Amino acid sequence: MALPSIIDPRKLAQQQALYEGNVAADSLPRFAEAVLAIESPLQARVEFEINQSRKPCVNGQLSITAAVPCQRCLEPVTIEVGAEFALEVVWNEEQAAKIVKRTDSWIVAERQANLVELLEDELLLALPVVSYHAEGGCAADLRELLPAEQQQSTASDNPFAVLAALKKH
């Protein structure tokens, strides 16, 4: 099932609507720009409800496969991007500011809103800043091509090297 894009989130919350389905890759132009290629449709489960404070909410789980540049060898690496969100539907910034910290908000100033744009925002937030092939999976290890001097600086720039150092203590 394809997910609807233009929805009335408050009405759906009253109806406790649940959507499980997908969004075609070509409906996600901003996410497409952030990666090398989208390799699967977006799989989504989106649930609308009225929360304990009697406010309309939308909760979702998302998953999509995309190719991004490996930061070690610069060749494409396929990653799965998963996101989970729980948002309270509010009319404006002022209302959003009043929400307890645990919940994020989705500002919907009109009656209707674009669900697909919301899902795309959540995917962009969930996209890792850097990705790597699994150990040994790189097309060519750039470190082997560099002189020893530069290899050392490469090692210290590697965030995993910092983690490894921390683990020793």
Which residues sit at the interface with Zn ion, rule CB under 5 A?
70, 72-73, 133, 138
Closest separation between CB of residue 70 and Zn ion, Å?
A: 3
What does the block give as tokens for 126?
């969930």
Instruction: Report, in Å, the least distance between residue 35 CB and Zn ion.
Output: 15
Nearer to Zn ion, 6 or 37 (CB): 37
Please say whether the beta carbons of 58 and 107 come within 8 A. no
Longest dimension (CA), the chain: 64
Which lies closer to Zn ion via its Cβ, residue 10 or residue 133? Answer: 133
Nearer to Zn ion, 27 or 131 (CB): 131
Tell me how far, at minimum, the Cβ of 140 lies from Zn ion, in Å: 8
Shortest CB 28 distance to Zn ion, Å: 25
Which residue, 34 or 73, has its beta carbon nearer to Zn ion? 73
Judge contact between 86 and 22, C-beta under 8 A: no
How far apart, in whole angstroms, are the C-alpha atoms of residue 42 and residue 69? Answer: 20
Pairwise CA distance, residues 1 & 128, whole Å:
28
